[in-house]
Each structure stands twice: as structure tokens, then as C-alpha cells.
Amino acid sequence: MILTITNQKGGVGKTTTAINLAAALASKGIRTLLVDLDPQANSTMSFIDAHSAPKTVFDALTEPDVGIAGILQQAEKVPNLLLAPSSIALAKLEAKLLGDIDSHFRLKDALAKVLPDFDFIIIDTPPTLGIITVNALVAATHVMIPIQSSYFALEGTDDLLETIDKVKARANPQLQILGAVITLHDKRTLLARDIVDQIRKVFGDKLFETVITKSVRLEESPAYKETIFSFAPRSTGAYEYYKLSEEVLSRV
């Protein structure tokens, strides 16, 4: 099971979802790998210091003898969770792979060697539909789309779904949309509730029942290198991400 979390819109909760879903799965004893495929390295920094990783996904994807196995880090404080860290170097990937015939398959090939070591792999992506995100879609078995329940929430969704269809057409016919999840939801506003209805019209039963509401605890926890489960185990955010993990497992 390889789940890519993606939406080319920035700041919609991809990273927050990736780190907390990964932690929720790991807490159930599931051997989980979180691959940070964003040059911003926000998932990485939620677990380890940005400069403490000697090698990162850029090395794994560009040097065959490094591979994913050569960059793995144990996520501090989270048993069963390993991290494939990112760094700003990943921003050079597009230029580096330009013209390479296998450029879209780099991640898939790199992950193949570590597949037996994990039950669940989660990939966090940057807010673009470029070569990095395409690598994540080619490598994945499933996609999850976080959508912020705000004005313009669905803008760009067509492009994303089109990209997913293109990847399915050739490079990865098995790819499935696992679901869309509403994030950063503010129950108090009428607008947010209207938007949830609009999102439901687009995604139908692919929309996860669990809604992630806006909460200060979720926003704070990465700064302390904690997941929501260690930072505020009794918060609504912890409850919601735990529920999401149960829903995810029920769909696979």
C-alpha cells in the first residue's frame, strides 16, 4: 500500500495529514514509511532537524547505489515509523532528470527495493504538478486529496484529476483515488458548510466521513517535533486523525 497525499494547492494540509496519518498507522504496529517528496521538507522537519540527515530523497533518486535504504531515518519518538527525509536539494530534481527516459519512474524504482520492509508507505508532495508529484503518482497504489474547506477550495481540482488520469492511462493503470479529506474546516462558518456540500458533489462517496477541523494544537505540534498524538493526545486533532486512519484502513 503506497498512498500519495497530493493537491497542487499550497497550504491545504498535505503535510499535516501525512505526518499524523503516518503516526496513527505506526501506533497500530503497522510498519510505516513516510517519504517526504517536498523540497520545503516540512514533513522532515516535523521529526528531525533539517540539516541532520546526511542523505535525502534527492540522493536516493539520483544515485542508484544510495537508494531509499541509504537515507532512512527513525522518526524520533514514533516506533514503527521511518522517514525518507527531504531537503531543498530536491528542487534541482526536475533539471537533473530533464531528458531522462525513466524520469517519471525514479521513485517507483527506488521504493521497489524497500517494499518488503514496510506495510504502509505515505508520500508527502509539494504544491505543484511537476515531475516530483508525477513520480509520487507513478509510485503509488492510492491517492488521497486533502481539500481545505475554504473559498476556491475546488479550484484546480480538474487539473489534479486530469493529471491522475494521465498517470493512470500509461504509467500506472492500477492507481486508485482512495479519497478526499476535508481539512482546516471551520464549523462555525456558513461558507465552510456550503463548501463541504460542493466538495461532496464532486467526490461523492470518495469523500472521507472524517473532517479535520481547524485547531491550534495541530498547527503547533510540528514546531515541537511532535505528532498530534504525543503533543495533544486528547485534542480534537488527535481524535480526527485517528478516525481518519481507521477509515483509511477500512478502505484498503
Ligand X SMILES: Nc1ncnc2c1ncn2[C@@H]1O[C@H](COP(=O)(O)OP(=O)(O)OP(=O)(O)O)[C@@H](O)[C@H]1O
Q: Which residues bind ligand X (CB under 6 A)?
A: 10-16, 38, 40, 42, 127, 183-184, 212, 214-215, 218-219
Strands 176-185 and 73-74: unpaired
CB of 62 to ligand X, least distance (A): 22
Least Å from the CB of residue 174 to ligand X: 25
Closer CB to ligand X, residue 38 or residue 114? 38
User: Is residue 156 a contact partner of residue 18, using CB atoms and an 8 Å limit?
Assistant: no
Among 4, 5, 9, 14, binds Mg ion (CB under 5 A): 14
Minimum distance of ligand X from residue 169's CB (angstroms): 26
Q: How far is the CB of 72 from ligand X (least distance, A)?
A: 22
Compute the distance between CA of residue 218 and CA of residue 231 in angstroms, rounded to an integer.
9
* Burial degree of 66 (CB within 10 A; 0-12, 13-18, 19+): middle
Residue 9 is a binding residue for Mg ion (CB under 5 A): no
SS (H, E, C) 88-125: HHHHHHHHHHCCCCCHHHHHHHHHHCCHHHCCEEEEEC
Look at the block and give the residue holding cell 514533513.
43
Cα(196)–Cα(199) distance, rounded to whole angstroms? 5
Q: Which is nearer to ligand X, 104 or 214 (CB)?
A: 214
Nearer to ligand X (CB atom), residue 127 or residue 156: 127
Site string for Mg ion, 26-45 (x = CB under 5 A): ----------------x---
Could you tell me the CA-to-CA distances from 43 to 31, 93, 167, 176, 190 in Å, in that order?
18, 18, 25, 24, 32
Contact flags string 41-70 toward Mg ion, x per CB under 5 A: -x----------------------------
Cα 206 from Cα 143, distance rounded (Å): 11
At closest approach, how far in Å is the CB of 113 from Mg ion?
A: 26
What does 16 interact with, of ligand X, Mg ion, none (CB < 5 to 8 A by kind)? ligand X
Closest separation between CB of residue 133 and Mg ion, Å? Answer: 12
Among 6, 15, 150, 245, binds Mg ion (CB under 5 A): 15
How near is the Cβ of 170 to Mg ion at its closest, in Å?
Answer: 27
- Give residue 179's Cα distance to chain centre: 13
CA distance 47 to 72: 12
185 binds Mg ion (CB under 5 A): no
* Nearest-angstrom CA–CA distance, 163 and 129: 8
C-alpha 82/C-alpha 92 separation (Å) is: 24
With respect to Mg ion, which residue has the nearer C-beta, 19 or 199?
Answer: 19
Binding residues for Mg ion (CB under 5 A):
14-15, 42
